[in-house]
Structure formats: structure tokens, C-alpha cells
């Protein structure tokens, strides 16, 4: 009997020791703290199609148990154009909140990368205490319908104006437009030039915008799908000021004659070779003047 009791006592002592070790290991892995540690909902946020008019981007912040009210400090490493508060708060009983990031100064079309970090009231072994951000704004494009496109240099031939039907898009809330597929008609390009001139880089759309409600600009140049002498000699439609500073005054020639009719004067140039000069292009928006009639009258 004594031997049995002795053996049982030894087993019990061993179990107690094992149990004590397990409890100790659990404490090393997770130690609950006051107010249930605050955490970001995700470690990486990629939002690259934020609406252009949006001024605030909200980052979700959570805690596992809705305890007492709590405020935690935030460290933000953000590029110019983005700002956020230095802390985030939970009301009593609240398990979810957001950290607002001011993105009102973000330029559209550029990526902004940064990070935000929780500085206190967390358990780094179980919580997401830092999240990396990649943010960008994008225009929302709305189709206005079908318009007409005229290009005096690239499309006009000896026996026709070469007027092309094009879809016109407008950036919602902005005086900005896309002319879709202006040079899709290779037959007209060849008619205006020749088969040998086909095969150059071709812009799927031309994006233009107003700088003051009247004058129109675009980003550097667009491509019409024509080459001058051979491969690598694309004929480009430059914004005059993007070609060189002496041409800058010619930017003012491109303008909105009305809300439905625009004229553009690109400087046509072949890099490393030379240029043709300024040639008229025109866009009649859906519901605007008939292009052929306008050309005959002007």
C-alpha cells in the first residue's frame, strides 16, 4: 500500500509540474492586457482606385473585447499630401473604429506609400500593430456618347476630311475628357499617307483637360499610329510647351470654343528628325456641331 501511495504521489507531482510548465508557456505566448489590445484589421492596405473626389480614407481598427473606453497613440510615416491623427479612440463597449487619413491633397494618378503604427496598448505577439499603405486616386469616367474627331495632319486626305466617329468620356466632377480610338481606322491613315507609314505607336485615347475653363492641354504628346521614315520614327502630336519652351505660347491656341466643340493645335514632331509644325485637330462632343459643316464654314 505504501508503495502504491508513493507511486501515485510521484505521478501527481509529475502531472503538477507538467501543468505548471504548460501554464507558463501559455503566458509567454499571450498575456491579456487592459481593454483588450488594439489592432489594425490588416497588415497591408492597397487601395489604388479611390474616387477622385474622396477626401478621407478610413483605416479599420479593432479590439477583441469591447471593454472600457481607451485611446491609443499612433505613429504615422506618410508622404506629403497625407495626414492622420496622432491617436485613435474606442468608446466604452466599442470593438471597432476607424483611423481617418486626410487625402484631400493627394494628386490623382500618383501612388502614395506609407505606414501607420500603434504605439501602446497592444500585444505584439497576437496583434497587427503596423499596417503598410499603398493609396492612389483615380478618375471615374462616364461616357458622354459618340462625337466626331478631325485631324488635319494624320487623317485628312486629298478627297476627304477623314472625320472619325469616337466615343467621348468625361471624368466625373472634372473638366477632363478622353477621346477614345481616334486613330483606329488604318484605312483612313493609309489613305491620308500611305501603307508604308503605318505601324507606329498608337494612342488608344487622347486625354485632354481644361486649365482655366477655356484653354486645353494634354500630357506631353499623343501618338497617331504613323511613322515617318521607318521603325522608331513615330510622328507625335506634342503639347507645344512639352516640345520646347519657345513653343509654349502656342499652348493657348488649344481651347474650348463651346461646351460642345474643342479645337487643339498640337505641334507634330519626329524625335531626332524634325517637325511639321502646328496643325488643327477638332472634337465635336455628342450633341455638338456637325464636324463637316463646321469645317466648311471655317
Please check whether residue 118 is in contact with residue 74, taking contact to mean a CB–CB distance below 8 angstroms: yes
Give the predicted TM-score (pTM) of the model: 0.71
Least confident of 14-18, 67-71, 254-258: 14-18
Query: How confident is the model at residue 65, as a pLDDT?
Result: 78
Position with higher pLDDT, 267 vs 174: 267
pLDDT tens-digit series, residues 217-251: 999 999 999 999 766 799 999 999 999 999 999 99
- The predicted model gives 61-76 an average pLDDT of 88
More confident residue, 162 or 19: 162
Q: What is the pLDDT of residue 124?
A: 57
Instruction: Please tell me the predicted confidence (pLDDT) of residue 126.
Output: 60
**Model pLDDT for residues 146-166, shown as the tens digit of each residue:** 999 999 999 999 999 999 999
Judged by phi (left if over 0) then psi (alpha if -120 to 50, else beta), residue 199 lies in: left
Fold of 38-138: Immunoglobulin-like (2.60.40)
- CA dist 97 and 218 (Å) reads 42
- C-alpha span between 269 and 251 (Å, rounded): 15
Q: What is the pLDDT of residue 37?
A: 79
**Could you tell me which residues come within 8 angstroms of residue 109 by beta carbon, excluding any fewer than 6 positions away?**
136, 137, 138, 139
pLDDT at 179 (0 to 100) = 98
CA separation, residue 52 to residues 40, 56, 57, 83, 107 (Å) = 25, 11, 12, 17, 9
Q: What is the mean pLDDT of residues 5-15?
A: 36
What are the residue boundaries of the structural domains of the chain, listed by start?
A: 38-138, 141-297
Amino acid at each position: 500500500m505504501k508503495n502504491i501511495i508513493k507511486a501515485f504521489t510521484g505521478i501527481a507531482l509529475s502531472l503538477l509540474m507538467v501543468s505548471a510548465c504548460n501554464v507558463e508557456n501559455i503566458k509567454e505566448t499571450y498575456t491579456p492586457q487592459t481593454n483588450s489590445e488594439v489592432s489594425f484589421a490588416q497588415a497591408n492596405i492597397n487601395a489604388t482606385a479611390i474616387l477622385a473626389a474622396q477626401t478621407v480614407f478610413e483605416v479599420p481598427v479593432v479590439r477583441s473585447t469591447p471593454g472600457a473606453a481607451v485611446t491609443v497613440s499612433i505613429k504615422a510615416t506618410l508622404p506629403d499630401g497625407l495626414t492622420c491623427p496622432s491617436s485613435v479612440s474606442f468608446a466604452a463597449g466599442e470593438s471597432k473604429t476607424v483611423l481617418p487619413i486626410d487625402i484631400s491633397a493627394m494628386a490623382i494618378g500618383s501612388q502614395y506609400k506609407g505606414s501607420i503604427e500603434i504605439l501602446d496598448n497592444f500585444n505584439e505577439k497576437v496583434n497587427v500593430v503596423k499596417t503598410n499603405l499603398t493609396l492612389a486616386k483615380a478618375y471615374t469616367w462616364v461616357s458622354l456618347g459618340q462625337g466626331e474627331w478631325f485631324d488635319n495632319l494624320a487623317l485628312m486626305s486629298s478627297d476627304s476630311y477623314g472625320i472619325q466617329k469616337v466615343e467621348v468620356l468625361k471624368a466625373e466632377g472634372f473638366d477632363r475628357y478622353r477621346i477614345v480610338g481616334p486613330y483606329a481606322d488604318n484605312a483612313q491613315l493609309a489613305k491620308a499617307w500611305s501603307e508604308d507609314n503605318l505601324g507606329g505607336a498608337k494612342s488608344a485615347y487622347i486625354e485632354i483637360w481644361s486649365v482655366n475653363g477655356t484653354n486645353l492641354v494634354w500630357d506631353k504628346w499623343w501618338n497617331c499610329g504613323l511613322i515617318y521614315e521607318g521603325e522608331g520614327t513615330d510622328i507625335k502630336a506634342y503639347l507645344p510647351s512639352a516640345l520646347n519652351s519657345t513653343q509654349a505660347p502656342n499652348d493657348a491656341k488649344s481651347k474650348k470654343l463651346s461646351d460642345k466643340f474643342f479645337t487643339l493645335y498640337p505641334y507634330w514632331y519626329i524625335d531626332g528628325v524634325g517637325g511639321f509644325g502646328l496643325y488643327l485637330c477638332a472634337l465635336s462632343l455628342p450633341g455638338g456641331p456637325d464636324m463637316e459643316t463646321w469645317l466648311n464654314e471655317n
